[in-house]
Amino acid sequence: MDDDDIRHNQPASHKVFGEAQAILAGDGLQALAFHIISSDPLVHSSTKIKLLELLSSSSYAMAEGQSIDLSVVSKKVDLNVLDQMHQKKTGALLNCAIKFGALLTDASEKDLSILELFSNHVGLAYQVQDDVLDVTTSDEVLGKRQNSDAVKNKPSYPAIIGLDKSIKTFENLYQGALDELSHLSVDAEPLRLLTKRLMKRAF
């Protein structure tokens, strides 16, 4: 929807196959996700309902976030708007992915709450970091056009609070996510390692 022609150093789907096919691919994959969950013989019906509820609410939140993203182009907005947009987009996606695993293992309500806080921190950190990388990283490493936010007049963290403060913001958010993991009742090392890798990503 941001009309980037390159993603991960590859032509974007809508540039290769056209916008209609790209939209259909997204629609089809989302429908397939619901089908896979509902038809899995190894998952209990009560768990399937929880998974489907989470997937549907997360998908809607992501659509809301993308709608906000499209509506703020060339507009002056504050950090509250950016935070809301990112929490609905990336935050909802990560929350869904992380809580799927927790629901499938019948995690406690306390652990589910901790994981939600964790995913909210990581989701926002990831997007702030994206804003920073868009400014600081070359096309070749980034896998898409550098400074694409500025070219499209999209509001970003560096544009509002500056580059140095943006870097500190996403570092603190990642640290907050790591702090949340220390409260889990189960081994959080895989999530801890993943978070540390995200903190150091270059694209």
Q: Give me the pLDDT at residue 9, please.
A: 82
Separation CA 33–CA 23 (nearest Å)? 16
pLDDT in tens, 44-87: 999 999 999 999 999 999 999 999 999 999 999 999 999 999 99
CA proximity to 191, closest of 90, 94, 88: 94
Q: Give me the pLDDT at residue 22, please.
A: 94
Q: Give me the pLDDT at residue 151, please.
A: 84
State the pTM of this model: 0.88
138 burial via Cβ count (<10 Å: 0-12, 13-18, 19+): exposed
Separation CA 117–CA 114 (nearest Å)? 5
Amino acid at the residue 119: S
CA proximity to 175, closest of 203, 199, 200: 199
DSSP states of 47-109 as a string?
HHHHHHHHHHHHHHHHHHHHHHHHHTTT----HHHHHHHHIIIIIHHHHHHHHHHHHHTT--H
Q: Give me the pLDDT at residue 83, please.
A: 94
Sketch out the chain's domains with CATH numbers.
Answer: 40-199 (1.10.600.10)
Q: Give me the pLDDT at residue 148, please.
A: 82
Distance of CA 199 to the CA centre of its chain: 14
Separation CA 130–CA 142 (nearest Å)? 10
Q: Give me the pLDDT at residue 143, please.
A: 75
Q: Give me the pLDDT at residue 147, please.
A: 79
Per-residue tokens: 50? 């929880």
3-state secondary structure of 183: coil
Enumerate residue ranges in the chain where pLDDT < 70.
none
